[in-house]
């Protein structure tokens, strides 16, 4: 079972919850042993900080360290760096032969630098062991060639740093260097943001995230994540009356093209939950929120109403609301929505068709304003959740629209990004889980994308869930990942498929 899709091998709600919980416990046990020796603890601590860039300081003041064996040669370039308008830059040069004396650089200067520019000596026969010799680095490193038609040594230095976890950048001109400095001096895209997940810490019923922690996430992304019990929402929901949610329910019904299986009570309960979550987000200034919904949507006891309509409305209003307490989905959604300024479709990669070079994306929650927060809502009908109960909005996605989909890897060290185009597709969401079953096999929403380089995509899928937004965003995504020292994974040709 993936995401909220029901396959023909469905064995019962309780069995699903039990199997998911066992899988989560096994994953956590495998990645974080209970009795960890001192050496293993040290190795784990080092792994959480290796290759992690420090946060940008508040304000626009930045320190740049320029390391070269010939400072006078680069005086005009340093003046150009100091003249960058976006930041108040203190650019200091230090005279060091990196081939032979990289270890003599003052560690305090390395630590204080927000960006480090390294220039190999003008007369050098090898790259030496710069990355191994230089004091510990936690800032972006840019390698600047002496001769742009003879960059072999600089390329080797960059490769040394990358092997040690630092995704060192290689400048290809003075203008390129200035651009890289601006990019790497910018705050990380999630810097200072905060998110709350209601559920068991890193133990989602469908996508457990063993091996990472709140601190790991903050070090890698700048996001503060907090976990809370679902029961907190259950208790607070009691204070939201039917009268307070009545107008929201009527709006859903009025704007829908059709209301099929969903009962008014289900729509009203989802509207009550919407009022509660909107209040929590506003009062606590939360940038992202999620609930371990699969812990109760297939269970006999309902802790909360089905949240599908709730999540759809909040996404339309500009809030990051991924499903299923998916940590990587939270981070990926926040990045994609911040860059695109559009709501995202959090979805399962359900099928990859090599014959047609298309992928099918499914999920029970989809925003109606897929073309932008100020754009008209797409047509939708309201139906129940998988033929069980609750209410979801089945959105009619536009076709012939360019999109970008992808997400973080499980260790947050890579970001998969793939361009696509929405193509027409025959609706199949009424298919039963098995012959004679009232439970539907597929999620409420689905769409099909034409993509390039299908084989590479299949081998690069980030996980059960991907995030999709309309539009093509290679450059801003690349810049955002560069600042976080995250490797971009995607096709060499990021143009939209014909």
Alpha-carbon distance values, 150 to 7, 153, 156 (Å): 57, 8, 12
Question: How far is Cα 374 from Cα 121, in angstroms, rounded to an integer?
Answer: 54
Q: What is the pLDDT of residue 122?
A: 85
449-462: average pLDDT: 96
Q: What is the pLDDT of residue 434?
A: 87
Question: How far is Cα 437 from Cα 429, in angstroms, rounded to an integer?
Answer: 14
Q: Which residues contact 140 (CB under 8 A, 6 or more apart)?
A: 53, 115, 116, 168, 169, 184, 482, 483, 485
For domain 189-489, give the fold: L-fucose Isomerase; Chain A, domain 3 (3.20.14)
Does the pLDDT value for residue 13 go beyond 80? no
Please, what's the b/e burial string for 355-375 (b: 16 or more CB within 10 A of its CB; e: otherwise)?
eebbbbbbbbbbbbbbbeeee
Say how far residue 311 (Cα) sits from the centre of its chain: 18
Cα-atom radius of gyration of the chain, to the nearest Å? 25
CA within 13 Å, CB half, 230: 21
Does the pLDDT value for residue 207 go beyond 50? yes
Q: What is the pLDDT of residue 436?
A: 86
150-158: average pLDDT: 95
pTM (2 decimals)? 0.89
Q: What is the pLDDT of residue 27?
A: 36
Q: CB count, 10 Å around CB of 89?
A: 19
- Cβ proximity of 393 and 275 under 8 Å: no
Q: Using the 8-state DSSP alphabet, how is residue 167 labeled?
A: -
pLDDT-based confidence at residue 211 (cuts at 50, 70, 90): confident
Q: Using the 8-state DSSP alphabet, how is residue 497 labeled?
A: P
Does the pLDDT value for residue 40 go beyond 50? no
Residue 344, sorted as left (phi over 0), alpha (psi -120 to 50) or beta, turns out to be beta
Q: Which residues contact 380 (CB under 8 A, 6 or more apart)?
A: 255, 256, 257, 368, 393, 394, 395, 396
Six token digits for residue 111: 């630590």
Does the pLDDT value for residue 17 go beyond 70? no
- Cβ proximity of 442 and 346 under 8 Å: no
Q: How many Å from the N-terminal Cα to the C-terminal Cα in the chain? A: 33
Q: What is the pLDDT of residue 498?
A: 81
Pinpoint the alpha helices (H) of 405-497: 454-458, 474-484
pLDDT by residue (tens digit) across 274-291?
999 999 999 999 999 999
Question: How far is Cα 390 from Cα 267, in angstroms, rounded to an integer?
Answer: 7
Q: What is the pLDDT of residue 125?
A: 84
pLDDT-based confidence at residue 496 (cuts at 50, 70, 90): confident
Does the pLDDT value for residue 5 go beyond 90? no
3-state helix, strand, coil in the chain (%, to 5): 35, 20, 45
Does the pLDDT value for residue 31 go beyond 50? no
pLDDT-based confidence at residue 387 (cuts at 50, 70, 90): very high
Report the DSSP beta bridge partners of residue 440: 432
Q: Is the dihedral of CA 70, 73, 75, 81 positive or negative?
A: negative
292-299: average pLDDT: 90
Size of the chain in residues: 498
The CA-CA-CA angle for residues 134, 135, 140, to 5°, reads 80
Does the pLDDT value for residue 28 go beyond 70? no
Does the pLDDT value for residue 380 go beyond 80? yes
Does the pLDDT value for residue 25 go beyond 70? no
Least Cα distance to 239 among 266, 267, 264, 273 occurs for 273
Q: What percent of the chain lies above the pLDDT cut of 70?
A: 90
Residue 49, sorted as left (phi over 0), alpha (psi -120 to 50) or beta, turns out to be alpha
Q: What is the pLDDT of residue 7?
A: 39
Does the pLDDT value for residue 16 go beyond 80? no
What are the structural domain ranges in the chain?
A: 61-185, 189-489
Q: Which CATH class is domain 61-185?
A: alpha beta
Question: How far is Cα 196 from Cα 205, in angstroms, rounded to an integer?
Answer: 17
Least Cα distance to 16 among 468, 388, 463 occurs for 388
- Cβ proximity of 404 and 477 under 8 Å: yes
Question: How far is Cα 267 from Cα 269, in angstroms, rounded to an integer?
Answer: 6
Q: How large is the greatest C-alpha to C-alpha distance in the chain, in angstroms?
A: 81
Element (H, E) at 346: strand 345-353
Q: What is the pLDDT of residue 49?
A: 59
pLDDT by residue (tens digit) across 305-334?
999 999 999 999 999 999 999 999 999 999
Q: What is the pLDDT of residue 50?
A: 65
Least Cα distance to 277 among 268, 290, 267 occurs for 290
pLDDT-based confidence at residue 299 (cuts at 50, 70, 90): confident
116-125: average pLDDT: 91
pLDDT by residue (tens digit) across 228-265?
999 999 999 999 999 999 999 999 999 999 999 999 99
Six token digits for residue 304: 């909360």
Q: What is the pLDDT of residue 52?
A: 87
169-180: average pLDDT: 97
Pinpoint the alpha helices (H) of 34-88: 38-49, 75-82
Report the DSSP beta bridge partners of residue 353: 358
């Amino acid at each position: 079972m993936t995401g909220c899709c029901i396959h023909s091998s469905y064995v019962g709600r309780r069995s699903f919850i039990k199997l998911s919980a066992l899988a989560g416990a096994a994953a956590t046990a495998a990645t974080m042993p209970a009795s960890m020796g001192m050496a293993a603890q040290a190795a784990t601590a080092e792994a959480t900080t290796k290759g992690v860039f420090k946060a940008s300081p508040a304000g626009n003041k930045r320190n740049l360290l320029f390391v070269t064996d010939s400072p006078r040669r680069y005086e005009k370039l340093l003046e150009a760096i100091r003249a960058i308008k976006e930041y108040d830059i203190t650019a200091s040069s230090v005279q060091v032969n990196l081939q032979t004396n990289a270890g003599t650089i003052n560690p305090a200067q390395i630590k204080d630098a927000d960006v480090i520019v390294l220039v190999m000596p003008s007369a050098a026969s090898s790259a030496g062991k710069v990355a191994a010799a230089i004091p510990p680095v936690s800032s972006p490193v840019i390698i600047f060639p002496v001769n742009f038609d003879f960059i072999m040594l600089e390329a080797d230095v960059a490769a040394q740093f990358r092997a040690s976890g630092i995704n060192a950048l290689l400048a290809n001109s003075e203008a390129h260097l200035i651009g890289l400095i601006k990019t790497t001096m910018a705050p990380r895209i999630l810097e200072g943001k905060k998110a709350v997940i209601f559920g068991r810490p890193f133990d989602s019923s469908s996508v457990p995230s063993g091996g990472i922690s709140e601190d790991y996430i903050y070090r890698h992304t700048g996001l503060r994540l907090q976990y809370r019990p679902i029961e907190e929402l259950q208790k607070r929901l009691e204070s939201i009356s039917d009268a307070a949610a009545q107008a929201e329910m009527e709006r859903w019904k009025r704007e829908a093209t059709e209301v099929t299986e969903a009962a008014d009570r289900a729509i009203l309960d989802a509207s009550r939950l919407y009022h509660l979550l909107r209040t929590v987000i506003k009062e606590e200034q939360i940038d992202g929120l999620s609930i371990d919904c699969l812990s109760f949507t297939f269970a006999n006891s309902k802790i909360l109403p089905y949240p599908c309509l709730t999540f759809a409305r909040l996404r339309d209003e500009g809030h990051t609301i991924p499903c299923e307490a998916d940590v990587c989905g939270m981070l990926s959604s926040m990045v994609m929505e911040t860059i695109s300024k559009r709501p995202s479709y959090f979805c399962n990669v359900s099928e990859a068709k090599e014959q047609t070079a298309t992928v099918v994306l499914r999920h029970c929650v989809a925003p109606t304003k897929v073309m932008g927060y100020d754009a008209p809502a797409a047509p939708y009908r309201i139906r129940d959740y998988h033929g069980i109960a609750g209410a979801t909005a089945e959105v009619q996605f536009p076709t012939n629209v360019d999109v970008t989909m992808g997400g973080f890897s499980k260790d947050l060290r890579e970001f998969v990004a793939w361009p696509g185009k929405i193509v027409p597709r025959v609706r199949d969401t009424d298919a039963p889980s098995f012959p004679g079953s009232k439970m539907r096999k597929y999620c409420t929403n689905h769409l099909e994308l034409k993509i390039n380089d299908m084989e590479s995509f299949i081998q690069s899928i980030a996980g059960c869930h991907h995030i999709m937004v309309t539009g093509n965003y290679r450059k801003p995504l690349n810049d955002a990942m560069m600042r976080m020292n995250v490797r971009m994974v995607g096709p060499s040709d990021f143009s939209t498929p014909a």
